Structure 1
Amino acid sequence: MRISDKLFGPKQRWRLAFSVISICNALISLTKKKLLPAIQRTPSYKVIDIHADDEVNESDQNHIPFYKIDPKSLVNVVKERSLELLGQLGGVEGVVALVETDAENGIVDGVKNLSCRRNVFGANTYPKKPPKGFFYFMVEAFKDTTILILLVCAALSLGFGINKAGWANGWYDGGSIYIAVFLVIGVSAVSNFKQSRQFEKLSKESANIKVDVVRDGRRQEVSTFDIVVGDIVCLKIGDQIPADGLFLSGYSLTVDESSITGEGDHLDVNWSENPFLFSGAKVVDGYVQMLVTSVGMNTTWGEVMGSINRDTNEQTPLQARLDKLTSYIGKIGLTVAFFVLVVLLVRYFTGTSKDAEGHREYLGRETKFRDVMNAVILIISDAVTIVVVAIPEGLPLAVTLTLAFSMKRMMSDMAMVRKLSACETMGSATIICTDKTGTLTLNQMKVTEFWLGQNAINNDSLHKISLNVLELLRQGVSLNTTGNVYRANSGMAAEFCGSPTEKALLSWAVFDLGMNMEELKRDCSILHVETFNSEKKRSGISMRKKDDEKTIYVHWKGAAEMIVSMCSSYQDQTGVINSIDEAEKVIFNQIIQGMAAKSLRCIAFAYGKVVEGEFGYSDPQLLKEEGLVLFGVVGLKDPCRPEVKSAVEACRGAGVKIKMITGDNLFTARAIAIECGILSEEVGFDNGEVVEGAEFRNYTPEERAEKVNIICVMARSSPLDKLLMVQCLKQIGHVVAVTGDGTNDAPALKEADIGLSMGIQGTEVAKESSDIIILDDNFTSIVTVLKWGRCVYNNIQKFIQFQLTVNIAALVINLIAAVSAGEIPLTAVQMLWVNLIMDTLGALALATERPTEDLMEKPPVGRSKPLITNIMWRNLISQALYQVAVLLTLQFKGEAIFGVNEKVKDTLLFNTFVFCQVFNEFNSRKLEKKNVFEGILRNKLFMGIIGVTVVLQVVMVEFLKKFAGTHRLNWGQWGACIGVAAISWPLGWVVKCIPVSN
């Protein structure tokens, strides 16, 4: 008896266990008593529901933030659009106080405050469908029909084999098929699981939208996931509302709630009648600062998102095209397999086939039923494995791998793919219609010229400007803007917020004109705002000075020639107002054209005065639009990106035309196009390469179709002009990529074959309408996307060539051997191993090739080019014929050539066949180039897969003899197999010398 048994008998052990349990319970109770009150006092864990009649004790007030309001009441106010409930809370001002937010400075007190708000009101996130686990992909792989048939055949073979030869030797045939099938399934499941995780990650990144919020008195950009109740969010045209909230301040706000309500009408939102803003809605017009009242699942959009289960897998057009190819090849494989099955069964039942020892098999009275069934099962298993090898199920896998690899790499190259199909379609693009600002240029505006009247003003003459004119300029810049100037204290440098144009104007006004934005806003009250959009190309306000309540001032700013056309007079630097006649207009137009010729964007300022009671202008919402006074024209320089010219040249070399579509005038557009290399300096305005949007719009459909190929630059274009151009280009057969950043670009982005939105300046409407988001707004990144698109298409073609070579060789050798010899030379396990090399490992090796510069030296694929080109047919047929010739020679003359028995001959045939695929995988790296080793060391994954394949093949032949049905080979036989297979390299070089029309 052990010592433990002497010391602790059964009763003693039970008592000890009971004592331990009792001590644990006591410790747990003590822990609860000590720690629970502390946990309850922590703000992070307590959310209280207090109504007007409830009493709040001092400890709650000290430790619990936001005790003044029930979170549910905030949710219901917006969801029910209830002005009555809002009134009970004290209106919008009351809610601001209740959520402890400052209407001007937003949330203060930093990170701790934000954390408390998330704990009390929730986070701005939505539940998502849980990602598919590895087990799901294993089950999906098992659903394949051929796999199921193989499993059934393996089970029958296993049963008959064990019954005939016992466990020790009878499991090899059926068990080896099982192991091979599970290996194929496992590799396929792992691959699909990893790609699913990659798509999930990219989906999460694309949903991470940035918005502007006011916190600690400054405007800053944060993720929508980080928004909390009490935040003040700044929204402009094209933004998507990130949470439910209330209108705090803003102008001319119109929202589109069709994504929530299904109604297409746009709603006006204002302070008094309809201050309710719903998450998921889009800002159609105007500008707003909204107070967030509910986030995440407490919002209207959250309820919708909670009921949606999105699947990240989508089938691209190329995958659909390959499915048809797979189906067609599969039908051929099924036909061959059925024919082989019939031939083998006939030969077996007529006694013309041979057993494993080479003796003829006869069906006599002494033949047992199980022997017959075992032979039939093996024959069926062989036929099924022919189908497995013949059907190129690796084609869809290759597309998935290529797209996933490309998407991951494109993220590091500043491009986020939202739709898988865009990767492959981009490779076929023939036209790129691009914006100017921020895409071809740096989007770093700076005022470089300033004109007052007909005089250029430089730094030396700024002091000569009259105080009256300076005051008007300061008002025009500081009040007629959606930007802002932030200074924490007088000693800190100013920070400018807004669009690049707004920031440039504000910076110029602060440093050159001595503008004090806060002071001007205190001294003036804004009555109405007309926000800027791409159709009007101007913005305006009406305002009053607090010391002159009877006079309404109207300020306009916008495209210079449009503002000049609204003016009847101009003010010079001394404050004198002069009328504008036709001669004066010519002078102003020359000034504007002169600045535009220097690639400057021209912005003009004008104002008008309306005395109260003046007929037609007593309503401050009716902004005066004629008879205005011009009092300034500025020229803003936005330098071209230094790398754009080489990127444009690369596109031209690739056969892709670039068309610049911009809102700037003809002269600015032409100057920028010349600087970027889109136009040559000799191009004028009379050859049709540079047109205005209005001119293009007024063409007849026939004229547009005739002239659209000639046009390189479209100036003063509207969103309708861009849409018309895209439609026209598609009608005449082009594959069109379009860039856009504004809400009004959405129709063109959707209409295009590939929509490319800007990640920095792009609105959420533009991003939702696009297929790819260019994260750095850089044209060079668009060229990178083009290169990756071509790489995707090229990698798929490489894999098709590689796989069809194996398909043709395997089908021909099995068909001929079955008809002539009554057997197929490769066992089920061997063919499954070849299938693994060909499908999964081959797809992984060839699908991860990176783009090369020679891809940009070819013309675009376009819409009608076949997937399998003449060059690919030349390559694959030559390799397949060589493999068939070698394998048939080994099948019928191998024993005599090498002086070996049939088992060794079959091993030689199997080994040679596998190494033919290994060497041909190198050939498939380059469809046209003779040097197949170029850049091979940069693709470590390719070399790794080749190495793994060779090692596993050695293991299969030398160590898994019974499992794989092989026999050990000597050094000479190994050398012969590798040498014969290596001939495919010089053969590929010679074949590529044969000219073929593509």
Structure 2
Amino acid sequence: MWFTKSIDETLNQLNVDPQTGLTDAEAKIRRKSSGPNRLESKKRKSVFQIFISQLNDWLIYVLFAAVIITIIMAEYIDSVIILLVILINAAIGVFQEVKAGKAIDALKQLSVPKALIKRNSHVSEISSEELVPGDIVILEAGRVVPADLRLIEAVTLQTEESALTGESLPVTKDAGAVHTDPATPLGDRNNQAFMSSTVTYGRGIGIAVATAMDTEVGKIAHLIGNEDYSKTPLEKRLNELGKMLGKIAVAVCVFIFALSWLQGRDLGEMFLTAVSLAVASIPEGLAAIVAVVLSIGVTAMSRKNAIIRKLPAVETLGSVNIICSDKTGTLTQNKMTVTQVYTSDGLYDLEKDGTVAATDTVKFAATAMILCSDATLQDEDATGDPTEVALLALGDSLGIDRVHLAKKTSRKDEKSFDSDRKMMSVLVHTEDDDYKVFSKGALGSLKKKITHVYANVNRREITDNDLQNFSEAARQMSDLALRTLAVAYKPADSDTGREDMENNLVLLGLVGMMDPARDEVKPSIKMAKEAGIKTVMITGDHRNTALAIAKDLDIATESGQVITGPELENITAEELNNRVEHYSVFARVSPEHKVRIVHALKAKGNTVSMTGDGVNDAPSLQAADIGVAMGITGTDVAKGAADMILTDDNFSTIVKAIEQGRNIYSNIRKSVIFLLTCNLGEVVLMVVALLAGWPSPLIATQLLWINLLTDTLPAIALGMDKGDPEVMKEKPRPVDENFFSDGAGRSAITGGIFIGLITTFGYWYGYHELGYMPWDDQIPEEVVKNARTLAFMVLVCSQLFYSLGLRNRKKPLYKTAIFGNKYLIGAILMGLLLQVMVMFIPVLRDAFKLHMLDARGWIMAAALGLLPLIALEIIKILRLLRK
């Protein structure tokens, strides 16, 4: 019961020094005994269980009934073939489900929270799964607590523990508290922080006392991040489509069986044929194919620094027409460098004057900023806010010994930064046994608290002229696209309270820092513009700074396209809705403003992507159609609220993700259209032939074989296409667009009818070349076999070849890389090879009741098989010529 122990007792029992943390060697030893810091997930279904679930379908039951019937009818070869088709289909289904499951697991692994720890006297960030008991963990606002901790330091620290305690309000922590009662309720243990809770305010340091299933959340088996895979809206719609098509197919098959009965055909044979046609015409693999394509696609996106947390986001990405992006770190490099310092001594330019010209006032201002910072910087390895890291680097460049400073001073209290005050203050015990308050923040916020200015190594009352000079310096820095930050101090006492820390401050100085735009951002913004996507910049910087960077990146051209947070507060929601699309830059905004911006943009019918990294960004990320969290600077709260996480915090990655999302959706659409076209072709062939009173053009085993060849590998291969490199020259897809819009439905119907009719012609030709007609009486069995064989070959060849033309519905083959999709080429070749094997291996040929084609038959099968592809290509060329 760690909450009953003091800090010293806890440290002694776990044998760790809070100043150095564990060594890597000790952590390795402890990990062997404690195991990974990961909650146990639900046990996955075994491959056998997945296999059995693939057979749990009413159509499969009907096929099993067909196996029994064929055995009764002594058609043993047919029963074996049907059984093999069932088992192979189930095996393919198992492969698809396992593949999708592994990809989804990989995505979950990528989004495991990070933990900030101290090991080997060095602060670093590691995966929370690598945490061991005894690790010194650093907490800050926005982070998820990675294990159960006994706090050893808490500064205005608050955590949200509603998942554990049901308490809706954040709990304030007190590291010094010791609870002597072993029955102290979980919610009252304020000297502990618990795994899965979220830091909402302040900062703290704790020692890991329990990990994985030994934590409080582990004890109640609250399995975080291991929820069952749920279908996306896209998969659900396709499931419904499959059910609808299934009903239609069953109706057609009932009609065929009834027609066969009226025509006096062999009912046993026609029952098998009707059932097989139902199986062949229903795209039962549609949902599985979509799951595989989605999971493989988002895994590929993760390799390009975009982790999709919620699969529906892939569908939505193709509709995004506005990207609202933070400036710092996303549009810029997030490598802040201080270039100018302004004090009462005047402007000090590091690039021009060098470090020699730094005055005592400049060094005092830099020291103040170092002491009022939570960042760390050691040998280019930094943690914390990039702005604070830049201030540490400024101190180093001025020759300030930060190690000595840390040893001779200690922080006694602090008032953490928040977006409302826009400032942070600390109470520091200095080396001369004195106390001082240091505050840093926006000049506009500090000006309200300042009564004096530091000049000539003394403080004096501030004048209007002083304030004007500092404001003018800030304006000039902003015009140069520099981010400004002011710093102040005041003498204090050991008992100075937080409520009095930020009153009567002495202004020390103002720094301007540069965060240059990323080289790849400007081309990405141009690409997004060509794709019909508007880029909107959102920043906390001043109007002038924001406009300067926006102009450089071609986001805005004039000041009228900029609006500030205070201006937003002075207009109504209706006014904002009417004017929001005129703005390209939102400056000096708070996280609360972001939500208003998102709602206003969505009210105008836009599909909005919004970036964020802070705790307070979570509402805007949830409000946006696509919430994008920063993977490097983002808090765990922001990541938890987001649909997508950028592992490189780069705007260009958003544009690449949209491109990938468009291509994934396009690939799924290709697979759907291909399956529906092929299945319709089979139905058309059977219905036309039977209505004409001809013998059945295909028997049950042949239908099932065709379904096996064309409904699996080619469809999956189409879904794995590299995509169209020109997809970003198209406009965003409307949110309510379905798979059959833009002529896709018409294409599937006409393609299916055409394939059905040319196969019917091939079937007729099979009779004709041997001197018979399908309506003749007493046709020899070998003639019927020859006709069926020709229909069999034409149908397979036409479907396989047709898949090539569906790689791009607008571009003819000669304008695409014909062999660009190696999976599809492989699927076509494998399908043709298997088809030829069935023809040339006598045992298989007899099993499928086929007849060896003569030279004319092979030529006719190849020629008719190519016709649908040729027709599709001619249509594309004519469309291209019309344009």
Q: % of aligned pairs identical? A: 29
The whole-number CA distance in structure 1 between the counterparts of 2:76 and 2:41 is 46
Residue aligning to 2:442: 559
Structure 1 segment 696-845 matched on structure 2, within 5 A: 696-821=568-693, 823-845=695-717
Deviation of 1:496 (Å): 4.5
The whole-number CA distance in structure 2 between the counterparts of 1:277 and 1:309 is 20
Letter in 2 for 1:339: F
Residue aligning to 1:386: 277
The whole-number CA distance in structure 2 between the counterparts of 1:855 and 1:466 is 57
- SS of match in other structure, 1:117: helix
Cα distance, 1:869–1:156 mapped onto 2, change above 3 Å: same
Residue aligning to 1:429: 320
Letter in 2 for 1:449: Q
Structure 1 segment 520-559 matched on structure 2, within 5 A: 520-545=405-430, 547-549=432-434, 552-559=435-442
The whole-number CA distance in structure 1 between the counterparts of 2:770 and 2:646 is 61
Structure 1 segment 235-314 matched on structure 2, within 5 A: 235-273=139-177, 274-305=190-221, 310-314=226-230
Judge which range, 428-437 or 268-277, deviates more.
268-277
The whole-number CA distance in structure 2 between the counterparts of 1:461 and 1:856 is 46
2:308 counterpart (417, 427, 437): 417
1:178 aligns with 2:83: yes
Cα distance, 1:461–1:146 mapped onto 2, change above 3 Å: closer
The whole-number CA distance in structure 2 between the counterparts of 1:705 and 1:868 is 33
1:498 counterpart (371, 375, 384): 384
- SS of match in other structure, 2:327: coil
Residue aligning to 1:908: 790
Residue aligning to 2:775: none
TM-score by length of 2: 0.93
1:478 aligns with 2:355: no
The whole-number CA distance in structure 2 between the counterparts of 1:833 and 1:677 is 57
Deviation of 1:582 (Å): 3.9
Judge which range, 134-143 or 523-532, deviates more.
523-532
Deviation of 1:847 (Å): 0.3
1:678 aligns with 2:555: yes
Q: Is the 8 A contact 1:742 1:765 kept in 2?
A: yes
Residue aligning to 2:544: 667
Count the aligned residue pairs. Answer: 856
1:223 counterpart (121, 124, 127): 127
The whole-number CA distance in structure 2 between the counterparts of 1:715 and 1:276 is 39
- SS of match in other structure, 1:825: coil
The whole-number CA distance in structure 2 between the counterparts of 1:566 and 1:544 is 22
Deviation of 1:472 (Å): 3.5
Residue aligning to 2:14: 99
Q: Deviations over 1:68-118 (max 9, x none)?
A: xxxxxxxx22xxxx4xx31xxxx111211221111211113x31x223323
Structure 1 segment 577-976 matched on structure 2, within 5 A: 577=459, 579-610=461-492, 619-680=496-557, 683-684=558-559, 687=560, 689-821=561-693, 823-897=695-769, 899=771, 901-931=783-813, 934-959=816-841, 960-976=844-860
Letter in 2 for 1:93: D
The whole-number CA distance in structure 2 between the counterparts of 1:438 and 1:899 is 77
Cα distance, 1:653–1:973 mapped onto 2, change above 3 Å: same
Residue aligning to 1:338: 254
Q: Deviations over 1:141-171 (max 9, x none)?
A: 101211110111111112221xxxxxxxx41
Q: Is the 8 A contact 1:719 1:744 kept in 2?
A: yes
1:988 aligns with 2:872: yes
Residue aligning to 1:156: 69
Deviation of 1:871 (Å): 2.5
Cα distance, 1:665–1:416 mapped onto 2, change above 3 Å: same
Which residues of structure 2 form unaligned runs of 5+? 178-189, 773-782
Letter in 2 for 1:318: L
Residue aligning to 1:18: none
Residue aligning to 2:186: none
- SS of match in other structure, 2:413: strand
Q: Is the 8 A contact 1:524 1:543 kept in 2?
A: yes
Q: Is the 8 A contact 1:741 1:758 kept in 2?
A: yes
Letter in 1 for 2:758: V
Cα distance, 1:590–1:899 mapped onto 2, change above 3 Å: farther
The whole-number CA distance in structure 2 between the counterparts of 1:311 and 1:611 is 52
Residue aligning to 2:115: 211
Deviation of 1:822 (Å): 5.7
Q: Is the 8 A contact 2:366 2:394 kept in 1?
A: no
- SS of match in other structure, 1:938: coil
1:328 aligns with 2:266: no
The whole-number CA distance in structure 2 between the counterparts of 1:344 and 1:567 is 95
Letter in 1 for 2:869: W
The whole-number CA distance in structure 2 between the counterparts of 1:896 and 1:122 is 74
Deviation of 1:877 (Å): 3.5
Cα distance, 1:713–1:992 mapped onto 2, change above 3 Å: same
The whole-number CA distance in structure 2 between the counterparts of 1:839 and 1:746 is 43
Q: Deviations over 1:343-369 (max 9, x none)?
A: 112222xxxx3xxxxxxxxxxxxxxxx
Q: Is the 8 A contact 1:314 1:420 kept in 2?
A: no
Residue aligning to 1:115: 28
Q: Is the 8 A contact 2:309 2:645 kept in 1?
A: yes
Q: Is the 8 A contact 1:131 1:197 kept in 2?
A: no
Residue aligning to 2:779: none
Residue aligning to 2:778: none
Letter in 2 for 1:406: G
Q: Is the 8 A contact 1:199 1:312 kept in 2?
A: no
Q: Is the 8 A contact 1:158 1:174 kept in 2?
A: yes
Q: Is the 8 A contact 1:127 1:306 kept in 2?
A: no
Deviation of 1:947 (Å): 0.9
Residue aligning to 1:144: 57
1:519 counterpart (392, 404, 421): 404
Q: Is the 8 A contact 2:36 2:130 kept in 1?
A: yes
Cα distance, 1:827–1:309 mapped onto 2, change above 3 Å: farther
Letter in 2 for 1:316: T
Cα distance, 1:606–1:878 mapped onto 2, change above 3 Å: same
The whole-number CA distance in structure 1 between the counterparts of 2:197 and 2:504 is 39
Over alpha carbons, which structure has the higher Rg?
Answer: 1
Deviation of 1:899 (Å): 4.2
Deviation of 1:337 (Å): 0.8
The whole-number CA distance in structure 1 between the counterparts of 2:796 and 2:243 is 25
Cα distance, 1:933–1:380 mapped onto 2, change above 3 Å: farther
- SS of match in other structure, 2:874: helix
Residue aligning to 2:396: 510
The whole-number CA distance in structure 1 between the counterparts of 2:429 and 2:227 is 55
Deviation of 1:718 (Å): 1.0
Q: Is the 8 A contact 2:99 2:292 kept in 1?
A: no
Cα distance, 1:122–1:316 mapped onto 2, change above 3 Å: closer
The whole-number CA distance in structure 2 between the counterparts of 1:496 and 1:309 is 29
1:452 counterpart (343, 346, 366): 343
Structure 1 segment 343-354 matched on structure 2, within 5 A: 343-348=259-264, 353=265
Cα distance, 1:262–1:851 mapped onto 2, change above 3 Å: farther
The whole-number CA distance in structure 2 between the counterparts of 1:120 and 1:947 is 53
Q: Is the 8 A contact 2:762 2:791 kept in 1?
A: yes
TM-score by length of 1: 0.82
Residue aligning to 2:181: none
Deviation of 1:611 (Å): 6.3
Judge which range, 585-594 or 641-650, deviates more.
585-594
